[in-house]
Amino acid sequence: MSNATPRWPALEWESRSWQPTAGFGRGRYKASVPPLIAARSPLPSPEAAEAATTAANALSRFDAELGHRVAAFAPVLLRSEAASSSQIENLTASARAIFSAELGAKGSRNAELIASNTQSLHAALDLSTAISDDAIREMHRILMAAQPRHTPGEWRDQAVWIGTRTDSPIGAEFVAPDHSRIPTLISDLVAFARRQDLAPLIAVAVAHAQFETIHPFSDGNGRTGRALAQAMLRHRGVTQNVAVPVSAGLLADVEGYHRALTDYREGDVSPVVLAFANASIRAVSNARQLITDIDEIQQSWEARLTARRSSNAWKLLNIIARRPVLDAVTAAEELGIQRPNAYPPLQALVDAGILTAKTEHNLGPFWLSTEILGAIDAFAARAGRREQPR
């Protein structure tokens, strides 16, 4: 915890009874009782507050810079945020596996989960105009749709905790609030998230930390909480066009991110505000590099493709920059043509060395841009590279 005087109420605790289903190991444990925050105003350290302002401005500038290029890069950045948020939870997959999973490939369970996270982020942005209890449940419902044992879209009805034991919260490092408190705590959090009088990135960081403390679902809380952060950035107008992959910035110091959440629970908001500010700056730098890499790849394509300019092969170039794995159905839909007519332009790009045809898990041929996939994987590698101490 930092040396600054805490300006935020720390968690309180209540004794709860543990009744295991097997009948053994009964006892009592301490469950957290988070403060209500709707009417509270966080006061981070001057350093954290300044960093939050700088980072919010950087996010807004980057979002505005994309301008007319949003259609080309918003999908790639959204998927990058989904992959990075999932990687924080130790769910990793290659760009190829993720894009293939979106087309129905079943070769990677992690890729399928990350594809679901992408859909959840889409929902978060769509729901950002009216942040609500229902919107949060909908984000979770989409995220966990393939995992019904975690009751997608429903508040948990059981204890959850952080600790070495998986069968009992007794002696756990942290136990989330009792499930009976969740509706009140979430409604209070939503009221805080809707406020317009707080600096946006400070509000986002604090709301995220409060959400993670409440831990309202049996699983998927981290990814849902970071989707909520994206919704708040859109709601406050910090971003208007794209989901800047802030989770990619958090990946540079996951341990620091988790320590910041602990500090928040002890009554200090500064570390989590700094974590989000620093992550935002890193994310913008990394995303700019990704866009530069994709631009250079597209320029090289123009020198390689010799088909006539009116050919659908040229139209496909912009499509594969944002969807670097295609099947014939998707290519036809994107081009607005019949499926048989998609094969000639796809083959033209294969002949030019721009696409590679592969069979994916008995689904028939997929067409891949190994160059774009490589650029996205390089983005992920940079995001996961912890900064060295200076």
Task: State both tokens at 252.
Answer: 């540079």
Whole-model pTM?
A: 0.92
Q: Among residues 112, 85, 86, 82, which one has the least CA distance to residue 97?
A: 112
pLDDT value of residue 386:
46
Neighbours of 261 (CB within 10 A): 20
| 354-363 average pLDDT score | 84
**Gap between the Cα atoms of 80 and 244, Å rounded:** 9
**Gap between the Cα atoms of 8 and 4, Å rounded:** 11
| 151-172 average pLDDT score | 91
| 188-196 average pLDDT score | 97
pLDDT value of residue 6:
52
Of 44-48, 103-107, 184-188, 272-276, the poorest mean pLDDT is in 103-107
Q: Hey, is 13 helix, strand or coil?
A: strand
Cα 371 to the chain's mean position, in Å? 24
Confidence of residue 7 (pLDDT cuts 50, 70, 90): confident
Work out the burial of residue 321: count CB atoms within 10 Å of its CB; fewer than 13 is exposed, 13-18 middle, 19 or more buried. Answer: buried
pLDDT value of residue 108:
87
Q: Hey, is 253 helix, strand or coil?
A: helix
Residues 12-285, CATH architecture: Orthogonal Bundle (1.10)
Query: Is the pLDDT score of 78 beyond 50?
Result: yes
First to last CA, the chain: 21
| 96-113 average pLDDT score | 91
Query: Is the pLDDT score of 390 beyond 60?
Result: no
Q: Among residues 148, 167, 147, which one has the least CA distance to residue 158?
A: 167
Query: Is the pLDDT score of 5 beyond 50?
Result: no
Q: DSSP letters of 23-50?
A: S-S-EEEEEEEPPP-TT------HHHHH
Task: Name the DSSP letter for residue 89.
Answer: T
Confidence of residue 23 (pLDDT cuts 50, 70, 90): low
Q: Among residues 74, 4, 100, 86, which one has the least CA distance to residue 46?
A: 4
**Spatial CB neighbours of 68, under 8 Å, sequence gap ≥ 6:** none
| 176-201 average pLDDT score | 97
**Gap between the Cα atoms of 63 and 371, Å rounded:** 25
pLDDT value of residue 388:
37
Query: Is the pLDDT score of 25 beyond 80?
Result: no
Query: Is the pLDDT score of 216 beyond 90?
Result: yes
Confidence of residue 385 (pLDDT cuts 50, 70, 90): low
Query: Is the pLDDT score of 157 beyond 50?
Result: yes
| 28-40 average pLDDT score | 97
**Gap between the Cα atoms of 33 and 144, Å rounded:** 26
Query: Is the pLDDT score of 4 beyond 60?
Result: no
| 361-370 average pLDDT score | 86
- Per DSSP, helices labelled H in 89-235 are 95-102, 109-126, 133-143, 182-193, 200-214, 221-235
- The tens digit of pLDDT for each residue in 254-298 reads 999 999 999 999 999 999 999 999 999 999 999 999 999 999 999
Helix axes 133-143, 182-193, angle to 10 degrees: 110
- The tens digit of pLDDT for each residue in 314-338 reads 999 999 999 999 999 999 999 999 9
Q: Among residues 113, 59, 123, 127, which one has the least CA distance to residue 85?
A: 113
Query: Is the pLDDT score of 3 beyond 80?
Result: no
Residue intervals in the chain for CATH 1.10.10.10: 305-378
305-378 topology per CATH? Arc Repressor Mutant, subunit A (1.10.10)
pLDDT value of residue 361:
64
| 25-42 average pLDDT score | 94
Residue intervals in the chain for CATH 1.10.3290.10: 12-285
pLDDT value of residue 107:
79
| 58-86 average pLDDT score | 93
**Gap between the Cα atoms of 20 and 27, Å rounded:** 9
| 75-80 average pLDDT score | 94
Mean pLDDT in the chain? 93
Q: How many CA atoms lie within 13 A of 77 on its CB side?
A: 28
Answer with the residue of higher pLDDT: 341 or 105.
341
Q: Vertex 75, ends 143 and 101: CA angle to 5°? A: 50
